Structure formats: C-alpha cells, structure tokens
Homo-oligomer: A and B are copies of this chain.
Amino acid sequence: MPQKIAVVIPAGGGGTRLWPRSRQKTPKQFLDIVTPGVSMLQETAARVCPNLVASDHLYVITNKRHIPLVREQLASTPSVNFVGEPMGRDSAPAIGLMAALLERRHGAETVMVALPADHVILDPAAFRDTLRVAIDAAVNGSLVTLGIPPAGPDTGFGYIRRGSALADGDIPVYNVAQFREKPDRATAEAYVASNEYFWNAGMFIATVGHFRSLYKQHLPEMEPAIAQLVDAAGTDSEEEVFAKVFPTLPKVSIDYAIIEKADRVAVVPAHIGWNDVGSWTRLAEIQANQANADANIVTGELRAIDARASLVHAPGKLVALIGLDNLIVIDTEDALLIADRSRSDEVKKIVEQLQTEGRSDLL
C-alpha cells in the first residue's frame, strides 16, 4: 500500500472500572491486564507497528506525567512519537491536535488511524486487513469507523446502524445511517435482531485533511488554540504553551463534537475478536478460555473448596476460596476488591467514594 499512514494512539484515559489495579499513576492501558507481562498499550502498538506503519509514523498522546512510563514500555520500538498533555481534555482536542500536527509533519493526504490503547483484539491479522480496507475508504473520501458485529444485546456500548453498501469486497464498507447512544436492553435486543447494527469501538480513520476540515467546520473556535499548540510542539516553548492553552480547550468527545455531525461517514465490519475490557466482569468473559477445571481464572495460586467461576488476581499470593462462586477477587498491595462477578461495574462507586473522601493514596 503506497498510501502514507500514521497511527495515533490516545492513551489518556483513567480506567477507574478496573480499580484497584488501574490507578491514576498507572491506568489500565499501561498494565498487563490481558496478557501477563505485556501492557495493553504495548499490545496496541505491536498490532500496527511495524506491520502497518513504521515506528516513526506511530504517535502516542497521553497525559504528560505518563510519558516516561510510555517511553519505557515502548523502548524496544525506537522512533515512536510522544505527545504529552498537561491535562486530559477528552478526545476531541487530542485528536484535533494530532490531525494538525500530522498535517504539518506528514501532509494533508496522510491517512490518520486513531486507535484506543485499551482494547482487546484477538485476531491482529484480521484487524490489519480490516484497517487496510478502511484506509482505502478514507483515501476515497470517507470518515471511516470500525463496526464490531455485536456478540449480544450489550447495553454498555454505543451502536452504529449501517446504510447502503459503499464497497463489497471480502470486507465490505457501508455508509453509516445513524449513530446511537448506549441503548436500554429492549432497544439493544431490537438492534441485534435487525442485523443492521454494530458496536461502536471508537476507532476512526480519515485523511488528515479530512479531519482538519471537519474540525474547522464543527469546532472552529478551537482553531487558534490548535495552531498555537502545533507551533509550540517540539520546541523549547512547548511546555509553557501547552500549560497555558490546554485549560482553554473544550472538554468534549470526538464522537459528540465531530463524528456524529459529519457527512460521508462509513463503517467497516470488523471481525477481529474485539473487546473493550471495560470491567472485571468483561475481563472474566474474555479470559474464559484460560479457566481451570473449576472454571476459575487465576493469576497467583488458588486452592478452592467448592468454589467455581471466579476471576482471581493475586500475584505472589496464595488465595484460598471456600464455598463461594462467581467472585471477582483483585488483590493489590494496598487495596483488595471482592465483588460479586455480575456487579463489578459498581467498582466505579467505590472509586467515586474514595475521590469524595480525598483518598488520593488509593486512586
């Protein structure tokens, strides 16, 4: 593929639903949540580099304080580019800044592929094949998103309704008819039954020029700030200018501010073994194939008496479970989570409570 491509990995999220492993110092994308010894960011980078882009066309944008950690994790991939945000302002400013930066460095015709740092993709080769189709569609003028064929009527994702076919290769491309917010259960069931909907995985592909024109159209008030940031990036004044400009940026998601307002949006069905690891419950589903004879999924050592179907993470420790099924057990040095497996989403409430209490030592 002769087309110039750059991959941008926004890695600024917090990931509080994977507390107590995910902390402000080390959000989930920097942890080996899925594969022992390999962080989710490292897996994300390895999926596309060097097989889709060279490392000098790979960009990671994350909170400034995580840059040393990111550099360390990607040390074996030299020439990767890092952009540090002095504070998180959600995804629209981050992607907007990256589009402007890539325009200057690589040209408006470069295709920008934006990939979240905290997803599971079990079939990287299929993923790259799907991305290549999306990139072609982007070159042909579409803003492209990957659509995950729903595994069920999940209410935790936004949905994308496909419209008419744009291209019908082995991997087809559809126009997007509509984006839908996270639905209630009945609506999700109707979506799945219709066979017209995909999960929105938050992966976006378009030429840099296309992104830039969308930002100019839908977020024109941000343009002066973006120009200041791009001028300062990589210079001695970067730190000072970023620190001054970032607080003025709108805190808004790219989905809301750009994608859902754009015309010529396309979706490529992505049969790639995708999951988002949005909770311990979901991780237990993803790792079901690693379960032992009692259906327990264990990091560390487990001795179980009449105890089944739990996710146990306690490296370096022996855990004894007696007479209890369907638990989430996550042990760390200073915090221990024990939750009913169906209710691990409520970890959010624990984190909120600790925030209210000002317990930054545990966040």
Whether A206 sits at the interface, judged by CB under 8 Å, is no
Q: With A331-B336, A336-B336, A338-B329 in contact, is A346–B323 under 8 Å at CB?
A: yes
Are B338's CB and A322's CB within 8 A? Answer: yes
CB A321 to nearest CB in B, in angstroms, measures 5
Interface size, A (range): 35 or more
Are B317's CB and A334's CB within 8 A? Answer: yes
Are A339's CB and B322's CB within 8 A? Answer: yes
Stretch at the interface among A184-192, A240-248, A283-291, A347-355: A347-355
Residues of B within 8 A of A331 (CB): 331, 336
Whether A324 sits at the interface, judged by CB under 8 Å, is yes
Residues of B within 8 A of A225 (CB): none
Q: With A303-B353, A305-B349, A350-B305 in contact, is A318–B338 under 8 Å at CB?
A: no
Whether A362 sits at the interface, judged by CB under 8 Å, is yes
Name the interface residues of A331-363: CB closer than 8 Å to any CB of B.
331, 333-340, 342-344, 346-347, 349-350, 353-354, 359, 362
Whether A80 sits at the interface, judged by CB under 8 Å, is no
Q: Which of B317, B322, B340 contacts A344 (CB 8 A)?
A: B322
Can you list, as one digit per residue, whether each of A203-227 has a CB less than 8 Å from chain B (1) or not (0)?
Answer: 0000000000000000000000000
Are B322's CB and A346's CB within 8 A? Answer: yes
In the assembled complex, the Cα of A262 lies from the Cα of B348 at a distance in Å of 65
Q: Which of B316, B336, B349 contacts A319 (CB 8 A)?
A: B336
Whether A176 sits at the interface, judged by CB under 8 Å, is no
In the assembled complex, the Cα of A55 lies from the Cα of B317 at a distance in Å of 42
Whether A327 sits at the interface, judged by CB under 8 Å, is yes
Are A339's CB and B316's CB within 8 A? Answer: no
In the assembled complex, the Cα of A88 lies from the Cα of B243 at a distance in Å of 69
Q: Which B-chain residue is minimally distant from A330 (CB atoms)?
A: B320
Pick the most buried of A306, A320, A338, A346: most chain B CB atoms within 10 A of its CB. A320
Q: With A324-B327, A327-B324 in contact, is A319–B305 under 8 Å at CB?
A: no
CB A298 to nearest CB in B, in angstroms, measures 12
Pick the most buried of A321, A331, A336: most chain B CB atoms within 10 A of its CB. A336
Q: With A303-B353, A303-B354, A354-B303 in contact, is A318–B346 under 8 Å at CB?
A: no
In the assembled complex, the Cα of A329 lies from the Cα of B320 at a distance in Å of 10
Whether A108 sits at the interface, judged by CB under 8 Å, is no
Are B305's CB and A320's CB within 8 A? Answer: no
Residues of B within 8 A of A305 (CB): 343, 346, 349-350
Contact surface of A with B, Cβ cutoff 8 Å: 19-20, 303, 305-306, 314, 316-324, 327, 329, 331, 333-340, 342-344, 346-347, 349-350, 353-354, 359, 362
Q: Which 5 A-B pairs have the closest CB atoms?
A: A323-B340, A322-B339, A323-B343, A320-B350, A318-B335
